[in-house]
Amino acid sequence: MENLDQFRKETKEWLEENCPPEMRKPMGPGDVVWGGRNCKFPHPDAKLWLERMGEKGWTCPTWPKEYGGGGLSFDENKILQEELMAIRARPALSSFGIWMLGPALLEFASEEQKKKYIPEIVKGEIRWCQGYSEPGSGSDLASLKTKAEDNGDHFVVNGQKVWTSYADDCDMIFTLVRTGPQEPKHDGISFLLIDMDQPGVTTKPIKLISGKSPFCETFFDNAIVPKENLVSELNKGWDVAKRLLQHERNMIAGMGLGGAGSAKKKKDQTISSGMATMAKTYVGEEEGKLANPGLRQKIASFDINSHAFSLTMRRASEESKSSNSGPSPASSMFKYYGSESNKLRYELMLEAMGTKALGWEGEGFGPAELAITREWLRTKANSIEGGTSEVQLNIIAKRVLDLPQ
Amino acid sequence: MSLVLNEEQVFLKDSAKKFASEKTPTTHFREVRDSEIDNCYDDKIWQEMVSLGWTGILVPEEFGGSNFGVAGISSILEELGRTLTPSPLFSTAVVGVSLIKHASDDVKKDILTKVVQDGLRLCFAIEESNHHDPVKISCEAKKDGSNFIISGEKSFVIDGGFADKVIVACRTSGEKGSKEGLSLFVLDSDSKGLTIMPTKMVDSRNAANMKFENVKVSSDTLIGKEDDAYEIIESVLDISRAAISAEMLGSALQAYEITLDYLKEREQFGSKIGSFQALQHRAAIMFSELELCKSCVIESITSFDEGGNDSERLASLSKAKVGEVFHLISNESVQMHGGIGVTDEYDIGLYLKRARVAEQIFGDSNFHKNRYAELTGY
């Protein structure tokens, strides 16, 4: 306990000294730092902040020190996160390398691979994207057809991936490829790390109903991949893929915790519901109660579920603290509930805002209102990406509840 | 608050689990239900609970209790809920004891000691209408020298049909619906002028309607201050709401597990019915909902013992969430059992009947959603 107090003191001091003032201001949509060879920093302080945090390994606080991580224990990391929150520090780095690839590499990659790729992720030097889905392989991911053929010291990759997030800004893509066309579908897949800076790899953005293009199609046309970029064994990629999906699902589940709806009692004892406060400004109130009783009842149900969900995420983290087991098939439950909850959050916001939430662009709507409309459309993908809600329910039924095939 | 139980609480939970499986499986409930005993509980089992110290878990050590806290007793109730164990443990050791803790030293010493040693049975007469409402009280207590004269009616008094002592919430001033002017008294159930009419509920357990006709009680029996009982009532109700949520969680988990087993064994169209996606998805959704319930209950029951500052809201969170989920699970469980689900021979219908009564105890999901919203500022 004494050590933890000491750790808190040192952390507080370090953050005070090293977190630039600009990085303690609320973030706008363009302020996320994704890292990478062509990283765009919204402000010089953002670069400084990433360098300092990356040097300390605190962009990936619990990863082993030997690969550049912070080497912190569960409790130390909790303290770090609390202290970061206390000064409202922005995340120094956001990346799929941190959330998805890194944890899978730590588990499955060779020593050389870990030494090469993990420190790059920690410092934000390489920006990664995910090459999983294909036009013909969505929920049935294991039917994927992009093939990698052995050509001596390297593979030659041909095929197409889809829903590759931010692929047009990324440096590398972790990709599922078919290496054993004669094997049963799960047993002929390998996990390759592919450099996108080559003529054989091209990307094309996909325009979504929200008007934005966070996803791309990625085409492989005789792309060259050195043999040392194979993670785990040949044709054993599905194990890596599944594990990585669990990390992805946990990441998406976290969206269910989003700020707007969960009613929390803060340290200063004021209780508020972001959703209800927002609804009041659009619907009005009568004697302190939200004026529309039907909407009020729906928001209360939402807040209760949201509160219960965030407690459950916390409980799972406390329970896994000692066992250090990482994500499990139960992460499908979090993915299912979190993504459905996030969709409902935006449906309720639309309901509360009425026609004010239905603007597309231009005059007559505030920027925040327009952003909510776009985000509402974006949330429709939450229960599709990373495995649909139906796929999650299948996984729970088979792998958690052990129901018959 | 803690989201995992400590060693002591785990120990209590394990011993309750053993007790429930060995002494009070659902066959015990059936025996009591089908016997000539009107009370729907077995006094022998009750005395065993007393000798295990369960009635003293919320009682301070100076009165012979163990002071193991709300999380301790709730963990026991969760296990007893699994087998629908009928007993006055909730009304006595949770609600009654928590109320008596606010009484005068003499009353505390007298009643708490007997609860711990002899299993003296307590009940709380608060409701007056068809829905829970802790301020809609018109049963009045008029001051008469050093006495009070109580007149009015009460309903849905859990275990009121056989309790030895009644704790009654009365209006000593103010209008019906007001938080001010409420007072609590404790009196013998055989007091002159008190008529108790037991009501047999759909879950076969006992509640009672009570009629107070000029019942004279001494002012020594006042719990807390005259006109000022609202805070005591609410704080005890919150403990009770959290504890009954734990019992309901136990019942819901058991009903779910029984159903899951059935899905793995029943065959139709040449396959186990659990292989059908139409049922698998519903089972998976129920699993997720139960995981949320577990978190609500544990956060809520530990908040009282750890001095949390959000206990009220957490009690409403638990009661609202668990009530809704137990409702869902009891309905789905019957449906997934098909025809046998509506037979008395199978246990699953017993959980359905218990669900609806337990949901009404100290506020259903609608009541607590509304309260949660109020406590959150909308």
Q: B79-122: per-residue pLDDT in tens?
A: 999 999 999 999 999 999 999 999 999 999 999 999 999 999 99
Q: Are residues B113 and B193 in the same domain?
A: no
Task: Tell me what pLDDT residue B1 has.
Answer: 67
Q: Select from B227, B259, B275 the last residue of a domain.
A: B227
Place of tokens 């929920």: A139
Put simply, whether B343 touches A (Cβ < 8 Å) is: no
Q: Is B313 helix (H, G, I), strand (E, B) or coil?
A: helix
Distance, CA of B8 to CA of B56 (rounded, Å): 15
Q: Are residues B223 and B329 in the same domain?
A: no
What is the full DSSP assignment across A337-353?
Answer: HHHHHHHHHHHHHHHHH
Among A383, A393, A395, most B C-beta atoms within 10 A, so best to mutate, is A393
Q: Which two tokens stand for residue B157?
A: 């008094």
Task: Tell me what pLDDT residue A324 has.
Answer: 57
SS3 track for B154-205: ECCCCCCCCCCEEEEEEECCCCCCCCCCEEEEEEECCCCCEEEEEEECCCCC
Task: Tell me what pLDDT residue B267 has.
Answer: 97
Task: Tell me what pLDDT residue B331 has.
Answer: 98
Identify which of A213, A237, A209 has the alpha carbon closest to the alpha carbon of residue A165.
A213
Q: How far is CA A173 from CA A156, A220, B193, B372, in A?
A: 15, 11, 83, 46
Q: Each residue of B290-330: pLDDT tens digit?
A: 999 999 999 999 999 998 889 999 999 999 999 999 999 99
In chain B, % of residues over pLDDT 90: 96
Contacts with B180 (C-beta within 8 Å, 6 or more apart), sequence order: B173, B174, B227, B228, B230
Q: Are residues B155 and B203 in the same domain?
A: yes
* Beta-bridge partners for B122: B165
Q: Are residues B107 and B18 in the same domain?
A: yes
Put simply, whether A279 touches B (Cβ < 8 Å) is: yes
Chain B partners of A402 at a C-beta cutoff of 8 Å?
264
Average pLDDT over residues B34-45: 90
Q: Which two tokens stand for residue B170?
A: 């009365």
Task: Tell me what pLDDT residue A263 has.
Answer: 45
Q: Are residues B211 and B196 in the same domain?
A: yes
Q: Select from B209, B227, B245 the last residue of a domain.
A: B227
- A83 labelled catalytic: no
- Is pLDDT of B268 > 80? yes
**A40 vs chain B: nearest CA distance in angstroms?**
40
Q: Which two tokens stand for residue B329?
A: 């699970």
Q: Cβ of B129: how many Cβ atoms within 10 Å?
A: 11
Question: Number of folded domains in chain B?
Answer: 3
- Is pLDDT of A204 > 70? yes
Answer yes or no: is B129 within a domain: yes
Identify which of A105, A142, A137, A141 has the alpha carbon closest to the alpha carbon of residue A121.
A105
Distance, CA of B287 to CA of B281 (rounded, Å): 10
Q: What is the DSSP letter of A91?
A: P
Distance, CA of B347 to CA of B331 (rounded, Å): 13
Q: Are residues B188 and B213 in the same domain?
A: yes
Q: Which two tokens stand for residue A173?
A: 């893509």
What is the full DSSP assignment across B199-245?
Answer: EE-TTS-EEEEEEEEEEEEEGGGEES-TTB-HHHHHHHHHHHHHHHH
**B88 vs chain A: nearest CA distance in angstroms?**
30
pTM of structure: 0.91
Q: Are residues B61 and B171 in the same domain?
A: no
Q: Are residues B48 and B70 in the same domain?
A: yes
- Is pLDDT of B47 > 90? yes
Chain A partners of B377 at a C-beta cutoff of 8 Å?
271-273, 276-277, 288
Fold for A250-400, please state it: Butyryl-CoA Dehydrogenase, subunit A; domain 3 (1.20.140)
Answer yes or no: is B350 within a domain: yes
Chain A partners of B376 at a C-beta cutoff of 8 Å?
263, 271-273, 276, 300, 303
Of A312, A390, A393, the CB nearest to B295: A312
Q: Which of the residues A76, A120, A134, A248 is marked catalytic?
A: A248
Tell me, what CATH number does B195's domain have?
A: 2.40.110.10
Hey, CA dihedral for B34, B40, B45, B49, is it positive or negative? Answer: positive
Q: Are residues B371 and B235 in the same domain?
A: yes
Q: Are residues B99 and B145 in the same domain?
A: no
Given an 8 Å threshold on Cβ–Cβ distance, is B287 in contact with A333?
A: yes
Domain boundaries, chain A: 2-123, 128-235, 250-400
Q: Each residue of B349-367: pLDDT tens digit?
A: 999 999 999 999 999 999 9
Interface of A with B in 311-340 (CB under 8 A): 311-312, 314-315, 318-319, 330, 333, 336-337
Q: Select from B205, B227, B249 the last residue of a domain.
A: B227
In chain B, % of residues over pLDDT 70: 100
Per this entry, what is the length of chain A? 405
Q: Are residues B185 and B250 in the same domain?
A: no
- Is pLDDT of A326 > 80? no
Considering chain B, what is the average pLDDT of its residues? Answer: 96
Q: Cβ of B117: how many Cβ atoms within 10 Å?
A: 14
Task: Tell me what pLDDT residue A270 has.
Answer: 52
Instruction: Enter the ipTM.
Output: 0.94
Answer yes or no: is B108 within a domain: yes
> Binning pLDDT at 50, 70 and 90, where does residue A265 land?
very low
Q: Each residue of A24-78: pLDDT tens digit?
A: 998 887 899 999 999 999 999 999 999 999 999 999 999 999 999 999 998 999 9
Domain A128-235 belongs in CATH node 1.10.3720.10:
no
Task: Tell me what pLDDT residue A257 has.
Answer: 65
Tell me, what CATH number does B52's domain have?
A: 1.10.540.10
> Binning pLDDT at 50, 70 and 90, where does residue A323 land?
low
Q: Each residue of A375-389: pLDDT tens digit?
A: 999 999 999 998 999
Per this entry, what is the length of chain B? 378
**B275 vs chain A: nearest CA distance in angstroms?**
5
Considering chain A, what is the average pLDDT of its residues? Answer: 92
Identify which of B85, B86, B80, B111 has the alpha carbon closest to the alpha carbon of residue B98.
B111
Domain that holds residue B241: 231-375
Which helix (H) or strand (E) segment holds residue A273: the answer is: none
Query: Is B90 within 8 Å of B242 (Cβ atoms)?
Result: no
Contacts with B34 (C-beta within 8 Å, 6 or more apart), sequence order: none
Q: Are residues B78 and B56 in the same domain?
A: yes
Pick the CATH number of A2-123 from 1.10.472.10, 3.30.413.10, 1.50.10.100, 1.10.540.10: 1.10.540.10
Distance, CA of B37 to CA of B162 (rounded, Å): 11
**A320 vs chain B: nearest CA distance in angstroms?**
11
